[in-house]
Amino acid sequence: MKKNKTIAYMLAATLLVGGTFAGTKALFTDKVDIANKLVITTGIVDIEIKEDTEWFKNGDKLSKDFSTLVPGDVLTREVKVANNSNTECEIDVVDYKGSLDDKGYEVLRNAVDDGFIALSDQGPGEIEKLKNGQSTTLKFEVRVGSGNNDIDNNYQNKELNLSNFLANYEVNISQATKK
């Protein structure tokens, strides 16, 4: 029995010493929360047609009368497009050329193929970057006449409906990519 008491005393002493050591090993601690105060505002992508002229014939404004065109006449039109975005943007002009394969466009198709009617569009040509407030001008031109009398004479007193040939253009603008 004496042996059991000795083991019990030794166990009690071990617990007392161990408990005292563990209980007195205190560290100071503290805790702070950091508030992430981040508010973002997204940009605006906005394009505007600033100026859209009517068609001009040889530099003079047309009164919508395209009936007296002769070889050598040049029709022009300018459209000014502005970037109203609050970020740098890329502008791209997509040409939706109309089809000359539709019925009723045979004469016009021949006039284009013969070189009697020539269309040129002078947009940015490639994607152009515009900063806020900057603009670019798109120019459209139709030349009448091939310079060959035989070809040009074939188109006297002909109605050439350019509506399908001078199809609509779409101006796309998108945020400039960061590199």
**Tens-digit pLDDT profile for residues 144-162:** 998 899 999 988 888 877 7
**DSSP for residue 63:** -
Q: How far is CA 106 from CA 91, 95, 110, in A?
A: 35, 22, 6
Q: If DSSP codes are grouped into helix, strand and coil, which group holds residue 94?
A: strand
pTM: 0.60
Give residue 26's pLDDT band: very low, low, confident or very high (50, 70, 90).
low
Of the candidates 168, 62, 165, the one whose C-alpha atom is nearest the C-alpha of residue 116 is: 165
Residue 86: what pLDDT? 86
Residue 123: what pLDDT? 61
Residue 178: what pLDDT? 66
Name the residue type at position 28.
Answer: F
Count other C-beta atoms under 10 Å from residue 162's C-beta: 17
Look up tokens 């947009």; give the residue: 123
Q: How is residue 30 written in tokens?
A: 């503290």
pLDDT digit string, tens, across residues 59-71: 888 766 677 788 9
Q: How far apart are CA 14 and CA 24, in angstroms?
A: 15
Residue 19: what pLDDT? 58
Quick one: residue 20, left, alpha or beta (phi over 0 = left, psi -120 to 50 = alpha)? alpha
Q: How is residue 97 written in tokens?
A: 């050329």
With a CB cutoff of 8 Å and minimum separation 6, the contacts of 10 are none
Give residue 124's pLDDT band: very low, low, confident or very high (50, 70, 90).
low
